Amino acid sequence: MRGGMCDCVACMSFMSSDPLQATVRWLAAHTRFPASRLAAPAEALLCLAALAAADEAEEQQRRFLIQRSDPAQTSALRTHGLRRSRVHFKCDNSAKV
């Protein structure tokens, strides 16, 4: 295991859209799975880590999606700013009545 289990599990989630399939591939490549198996708790921990890494990667992708500009909202914000700036013109209240 080069770099520890966490690095390999993080890489697994990017190889395939199915994290469990990627975990089985990793087990086959590194532990001669299914001829020899890890202990049941170790396999469960590895599968859980793969699912957590996939969930984290999905959350990361959703967090940094590019938002499209909405022309109506942009126009409304521009108009709102223009109206707010016009409110601050100084009034001349020196006119005597």
For the stretch 12-21, pLDDT in tens is: 444 556 777 8
Single-letter residue type at 12: M
Residue 87, in any domain of the structure: no
Distances (CA, A) of 81 to 34, 75, 87: 66, 10, 10
Tens digit of each residue's pLDDT (9 = 90 or more) over 71-89? 898 999 999 988 887 776 6
Q: Which domain holds residue 52?
A: 5-65
Asked whether residue 91 is assigned to any structural domain, the reply reads no
Instruction: Tabulate helix, strand, coil % of the chain (nearest 5).
Output: 65, 0, 35
76 located within any domain: no
| pLDDT, mean of residues 19-40 | 84
Residue 54 domain-assigned (yes or no): yes
Q: In the chain, how many domains are there?
A: 1
Q: What is the pLDDT of residues 35-64, one digit of tens each?
A: 888 888 988 898 888 889 888 888 887 777
> Residue 26 domain-assigned?
yes
